[in-house]
A and B are shown apart, each in its own frame.
Chain A
Amino acid sequence: MAARVVLVVLVAAIVGGATYAAMNGVWGESSQVISTRAGSPGGGFGVGGRGVK
């Protein structure tokens, strides 16, 4: 029974994590975009939803 619970929790965590990443657009930004704001480190938009500088 414990093994089944662990499996269900594991699968639920995987699907839940994937849904969270999908909804929040993690790694979803196009690499071609270049931020032009002063102070930007350049290189577009990093992971974690920092947004345009």
Chain B
Amino acid sequence: MSTAQAVSFNCTQCGAGLDALGGGRVQTHVCPYCGAELDAQDGYKVLARFRDMERPETPFDIGMTGTLWDVPFTVIGTIGWVEYHAGRKWEWVDHQLFSPTHGYGWLTVEDGHVSYARKSRRVPSPAGVSDYLIETSENRPRVKLDGQSFVYYGSGVAKPFFIEGEFNYRPTLEDTVRYVSLAGDGAMLDIVEGGGEREYELVQLPDQAALLTSFGVPKGRWPKPRGVHPLEPLRRSPLQLFARNLFLGASALTFVLALILSTFGQTVGRSDEVSVWWGAKVPFEITQGNRLTEIEIWGNADNSWAWFEAELLDEEDEPVAVFERGIEYYTGSDWSEGSQRVRTRLRLPPGRYSLEVGMTEAEVDWTGGNKTSRMRVSVTEGVVSTFWLWWTAVLLGLAGAVFLAHRVYHYSRLMSGSDWSDD
């Protein structure tokens, strides 16, 4: 266990030997033996005496030293806090830290998580979040500090139940502190009000194992985290990130490929627009026998339907295939339904063909409609079935979206400990 070099003195109340670890701005020193609060700025004169304090559970002892982001700190004080609300009780422990180069800070042990807080001299906008705003706001209140947004997480009123060690202010067991915690990206902002003052603290969550190891906390005393800390980072392996990028990239690539291939195809036969009484006859030649051939029939159906019969003949005028297809097209002032075109796909071996298409039935079954009177037929070879690619793009996109959903799920878990209610 690491410990700091100290200046020693005797408690002016009980005579116990004490170490002064906290530098020149320490205001009070509470004796761990007798609970006397000593004035560190005035010859350790006794200011008050705290009795019958129940020691809180914490993995840190006064005098432990360690580093946070490569800055050496010493644990110089301990305050246990308690908050009661709606029949429930919350407890946490703050440890005042001192660094000869970086001044004072706090380690907070709550629900098995250890966070680090330091005072902020900058003032957020708005400067405070009132209880009235919390109660009446429809959405979580937000404040901004240095361009970063912090969203309401929790609030309450707490008081100390245990005080020991050195502090750069004068704590008492009679203190009450109102706090509002707001969560930001990688840091929380605590607005703390007490004794007529308002202070701002920025809270970060250091790497827990590195922190505890650095302060020399034996593994048997490591706290067991309960729940998720609101600053817990989303941990994903490099393989997960690689898979996410691969799936999303492949999805986008497949989407573009489908768009390009959907333009494939060569028109090999087309009729003029003719009267449906005559029908259409289209001779054509297929050269790409391994691809699909698409036959498109168009009719000028207008709030009506029509039925067509098609016969495909080879170059000996022998029938190869027949099919029947219908079109129906309806429109209103701001809507339309159906289509004036119908497409049929089939696979034809290379060769010369003749397609004969005629209308067999048509009817108007909507107000203001007109029977189909004109038609046109076209034949395209080398058509690509792009639905394979569309579905592949969707599936790969969904696979990538699972990782994005993981992020959303993680942030919803971070806020699960919040006392905010949308009601």
Question: How far is B385's CA from A35's CA once the two chains are assembled, in angstroms?
Answer: 21
User: Are A25 and B384 in contact, CB atoms less than 8 angstroms apart?
Assistant: yes
User: Are B321 and A34 in contact, CB atoms less than 8 angstroms apart?
Assistant: yes
User: Are A11 and B396 in contact, CB atoms less than 8 angstroms apart?
Assistant: yes
| CB < 8 Å neighbour of A21 from B242, B320, B346, B385 | B385
Question: How far is B348's CA from A48's CA once the two chains are assembled, in angstroms?
Answer: 13
What is the size category of the interface that chain A forms with chain B? 20 to 34
Q: Which of A1-45 contact B (CB under 8 A)?
A: 3-4, 7-8, 11, 14-15, 18-19, 21-30, 32-37, 44-45
| CB < 8 Å neighbour of B388 from A3, A26, A30 | A26
User: Are B261 and A33 in contact, CB atoms less than 8 angstroms apart?
Assistant: no
User: Are B347 and A29 in contact, CB atoms less than 8 angstroms apart?
Assistant: yes
| CB < 8 Å neighbour of B250 from A4, A11, A27, A29 | A11
A18 contacts across to B, CB distance below 8 A: 254, 388-389, 391-392
A26 contacts across to B, CB distance below 8 A: 385, 388
Q: Smallest CB–CB gap between A47 and chain B, Å?
A: 10
User: Are A52 and B322 in contact, CB atoms less than 8 angstroms apart?
Assistant: no
Q: Smallest CB–CB gap between B357 and chain A, Å?
A: 13
Question: How far is B292's CA from A7's CA once the two chains are assembled, in angstroms?
Answer: 32
User: Are B344 and A22 in contact, CB atoms less than 8 angstroms apart?
Assistant: no
| CB < 8 Å neighbour of A25 from B250, B254, B385 | B385
User: Are A22 and B388 in contact, CB atoms less than 8 angstroms apart?
Assistant: yes
Name the residue on B nearest A10 (C-beta). B246
Question: How far is B247's CA from A47's CA once the two chains are assembled, in angstroms?
Answer: 29
Question: How far is B344's CA from A44's CA once the two chains are assembled, in angstroms?
Answer: 12
Question: How far is B319's CA from A31's CA once the two chains are assembled, in angstroms?
Answer: 18
User: Are A49 and B290 in contact, CB atoms less than 8 angstroms apart?
Assistant: yes
User: Are A7 and B346 in contact, CB atoms less than 8 angstroms apart?
Assistant: no
Q: Which of B382-416 contact A (CB under 8 A)?
A: 383-389, 391-392, 395-396
Name the residue on A nearest B242 (C-beta). A4
Question: How far is B292's CA from A24's CA once the two chains are assembled, in angstroms?
Answer: 7
Q: Given A7-B242, A33-B321, A45-B347 in contact, is the A21-B388 Cβ separation under 8 Å?
A: yes
The dominant DSSP class at the A interface is loop
Q: Is B239 an interface residue (CB 8 A)?
A: yes
User: Are A29 and B396 in contact, CB atoms less than 8 angstroms apart?
Assistant: no
Q: Smallest CB–CB gap between A7 and chain B, Å?
A: 6
Name the residue on B nearest A27 (C-beta). B385
Q: Which of B350-406 contact A (CB under 8 A)?
A: 383-389, 391-392, 395-396
| CB < 8 Å neighbour of B246 from A11, A36, A37 | A11
Q: Smallest CB–CB gap between B419 and chain A, Å?
A: 42
B254 contacts across to A, CB distance below 8 A: 15, 18
Q: Smallest CB–CB gap between A50 and chain B, Å?
A: 8
Q: Smallest CB–CB gap between B247 and chain A, Å?
A: 7
Q: Given A23-B291, A25-B292 in contact, is the A36-B319 Cβ separation under 8 Å?
A: yes
Q: Which of B237-256 contact A (CB under 8 A)?
A: 239, 242-243, 246-247, 250, 253-254
Question: How far is B292's CA from A49's CA once the two chains are assembled, in angstroms?
Answer: 9
User: Are B348 and A51 in contact, CB atoms less than 8 angstroms apart?
Assistant: yes
A3 contacts across to B, CB distance below 8 A: 239
User: Are A29 and B349 in contact, CB atoms less than 8 angstroms apart?
Assistant: no
Name the residue on A nearest B385 (C-beta). A28
Q: Which residues of A are at the interface with B, using a C-beta cutoff of 8 A?
A: 3-4, 7-8, 11, 14-15, 18-19, 21-30, 32-37, 44-45, 49-52
A sample of 30 cross-chain residue pairs with beta-carbon separation below 8 angstroms, ordered by A number, consists of: A4-B239, A11-B247, A11-B250, A11-B396, A14-B392, A15-B392, A18-B254, A18-B389, A18-B391, A19-B257, A19-B388, A24-B291, A25-B291, A25-B345, A29-B347, A30-B346, A33-B323, A35-B320, A36-B319, A36-B320, A37-B318, A37-B319, A45-B346, A45-B347, A50-B347, A52-B312, A52-B320, A52-B321, A52-B346, A52-B347
Q: Which residues of B are at the interface with A, using a C-beta cutoff of 8 A?
A: 239, 242-243, 246-247, 250, 253-254, 257-258, 261, 289-292, 312, 318-325, 343-349, 383-389, 391-392, 395-396
